[in-house]
Amino acid sequence: MLKTYSALAPYLKRHRLSYLFGLISLIITSGGQLFIPQYIKRMVDTIAQGSFSPADLMRPLVFMVLLALVIGIGRFGWRFWLHGAARRIETELRADLFSHMTLLGDSYYQNHNTGDLMARGTHDLHQIRMATSMGLVAFFDGVFMTIAILVIMLEQNSELALFTIIPLPFITVLVLGLGKAIGSLFRAVQESFSRLSGQSQETFANLKLIQGFVKEQYFIKRFADANDQYQIQNLRLIQVWGFLFPLVTFLSGLTTLILLWVGGGKVISGSLSPGEFVATLNYLQMLIWPMLGAGFTVNLLQRGKTSLIRVQEIMNAAPEFTTDEGLLDECKPFSQSMVLSKVCAEYNETRVLSDISVSINAGETLGVLGPTGSGKTTLIRLLLRLVEPCDGEITIDSTPYGNVEPRSLRKRFGYVSQDSFLFSDSIRNNILFSLGEERGSVSEEHINKIIAISGLQQDLDQFPEGIETQIGERGISVSGGQKQRIAIARGLMSNPDILILDDSLSAVDAQTEEHILSHIMAIRRGKTTIMISHRVNALRLSDTIIVLEQGTITHQGSHAELLRKDCYYRDIYNLQQSEDDTEAQL
């Protein structure tokens, strides 16, 4: 348990003052409570003597009111400091988790469900917060109050104390014994919650598809099953927890019975004063909470431990590539060539690219054509260092890729991906996304030029607030073609050294594609562009075109050179030409 919690040491250390003040407040609160039975004892004994004046009761009464005030302040203090520190730790942990997750690679996310990761970032962090606040309070009460009460009782009347505490060791054994079971049951609860989150996330992310295939009932049933599982796991936990609680209460009740039996006899025989009897009864009642607190502590700490392990599993996952901040700015502008020599790539030990050798010269355009699944996007991932080659070497301006900090390398690229993800933000902010701090200095004239090149102007004219129109969750939905055009504008905005267009105009018609591409070629003159497309017409102006088939380059050359060869490129060209001719005749 301690080993697991040591992961929190840096966070606890940062908030040690809050914890110190919180613990002092807790000692004041608990210590103050220990005095109350003493005053009650004095008052009862005074009353039991039969002859007393109201002034005799006044002093203890005033003290008790003052004590209640101190206890109240102490209670506020520990809540303020301990809950405050735990909240801050939760916030810091969440921030660290989030930034670490941004460094994890593609393969990590492929093997981990998004819903599960989200559950760890929310539900599990909540449990850690409970352990670092209420868990600590319960632990303190369990230890400090139990010891203090036992010492007072033993001092007051050791024989009575020893008799009445006979059931207490049973409580400890019970709590510790069931603690382990609670831990594993809680892990099952958290895992079923992760499954539930995962299914919800997947369902709502693909709702249109589900509705399109009229598969709502199937998903409702799937969710209901996961929901039932979550309930079953929770009920199992409740059963054990529910068994523990009454048993501890029963055993605590036994202590009161013993007191009434043994203590009552002592009062009658005169060896115990009525005040001492009432005080002991009070102390025993005060013991119930720390006794329960022990169970509560075990429960909270076990839950916290389980959750911490789940969060640590993410934090301990190594980033796909090491990021040496010192190297961040060392990658100079791309000026010569990028060379791939005999490069291969794998996913989960399955080879998808082999023996790739190609040179991309600065200022030139490389076209990539290939059937679906032939490895075109994987080639781009290699260039962006999102995937490491399993063999061979990639260099940029003669520097091996392994010596270049990945983020620094990626800054040289502008990547327009196939799926054109847009953020729920204004179109302007989506377009300016790649600029970072330079956003403020970009002129409206430049923005308008990029919009025109991307063929976006007509779309913006239709939108209610033009470029300021919100898209996504908080705004309008855009069509697939509009999405791609906005993504193109985003890729062009920073005028990157190397622009990658990964089949990024597949949702616009061939004519519009040609129109946009001719403008892009014009503005990119002297800069490097890598273009993947299924349309030969889009690639024909490239300086070099490679044909990828089943993970290898089968042909490469210019448009004219490839047309002279009997190859996939020429077949596709002929096919698309005849399609265009047929369309023209219609």
Ligand X SMILES: Nc1ncnc2c1ncn2[C@@H]1O[C@H](COP(=O)(O)OP(=O)(O)OP(=O)(O)O)[C@@H](O)[C@H]1O
Rounded CA-CA distance 279/256 in Å is 12
To the nearest whole angstrom, how small is the minimum distance from the Cβ of residue 373 to ligand X? 4
To the nearest whole angstrom, how small is the minimum distance from the Cβ of residue 568 to ligand X? 13
To the nearest whole angstrom, how small is the minimum distance from the Cβ of residue 207 to ligand X? 24
To the nearest whole angstrom, how small is the minimum distance from the Cβ of residue 334 to ligand X? 23
To the nearest whole angstrom, how small is the minimum distance from the Cβ of residue 458 to ligand X? 28
Cβ nearer to ligand X, comparing 259 with 379: 379
Q: How many CB atoms lie within 10 A of CB 438?
A: 11
Rounded CA-CA distance 293/245 in Å is 10
Cβ nearer to ligand X, comparing 298 with 352: 352
Nearest Cα to Cα of residue 458 among 481, 439, 435, 442: 481
* DSSP for residue 270: T
Cβ nearer to ligand X, comparing 174 with 488: 488
Cβ nearer to ligand X, comparing 292 with 379: 379
To the nearest whole angstrom, how small is the minimum distance from the Cβ of residue 379 to ligand X? 7
Residues near ligand X (CB under 6 A) are: 106, 110, 347-348, 352, 370, 372-378, 418
To the nearest whole angstrom, how small is the minimum distance from the Cβ of residue 105 to ligand X? 10
Q: How is residue 30 written in tokens?
A: 């608990």
Rounded CA-CA distance 172/293 in Å is 11
Cβ nearer to ligand X, comparing 363 with 392: 392
Nearby residues of 50 by Cβ (< 8 Å), 6 or more positions away: none
Q: Is 258 exposed, middle or buried (0-12, 13-18, 19+ CB in 10 A)?
A: middle
- In angstroms, the Cα distances linking 289 to 27, 141, 295, 297, 471 are 16, 8, 10, 11, 54
- In angstroms, the Cα distances linking 209 to 203, 214, 372, 380, 482 are 9, 8, 22, 28, 20
Cβ nearer to ligand X, comparing 348 with 477: 348
DSSP strand pairing (337-347 vs 413-416): unpaired
Cβ nearer to ligand X, comparing 248 with 353: 353
Cβ nearer to ligand X, comparing 153 with 379: 379
Cβ nearer to ligand X, comparing 372 with 477: 372
Q: In 281-408, where do the E strands start and end?
A: 337-347, 350-361, 365-369, 391-396, 399-400
Q: Is 474 exposed, middle or buried (0-12, 13-18, 19+ CB in 10 A)?
A: exposed
> What DSSP assignment string belongs to 196-240?
HHHHHHHHHHTHHHHHHTT-HHHHHHHHHHHHHHHHHHHHHHHHH
Q: Kindly report the CA angle at 96 between 93 and 97, in degrees rounded to 5?
A: 85
To the nearest whole angstrom, how small is the minimum distance from the Cβ of residue 387 to ligand X? 8
The radius of gyration of the chain's CA atoms, rounded to the nearest angstrom, is 36
To the nearest whole angstrom, how small is the minimum distance from the Cβ of residue 392 to ligand X? 16
Which helix (DSSP H) or strand (DSSP E) does residue 521 occupy?
helix 510-523
To the nearest whole angstrom, how small is the minimum distance from the Cβ of residue 367 to ligand X? 14
Nearby residues of 476 by Cβ (< 8 Å), 6 or more positions away: 463, 464, 469, 470
Cβ nearer to ligand X, comparing 106 with 329: 106
Cβ nearer to ligand X, comparing 418 with 512: 418
To the nearest whole angstrom, how small is the minimum distance from the Cβ of residue 464 to ligand X? 34
The strand order across the sheet containing 552-557 reads 413-416, 498-502, 528-532, 365-369, 544-549, 552-557
Cβ nearer to ligand X, comparing 349 with 444: 349
To the nearest whole angstrom, how small is the minimum distance from the Cβ of residue 100 to ligand X? 21
Rounded CA-CA distance 582/488 in Å is 30
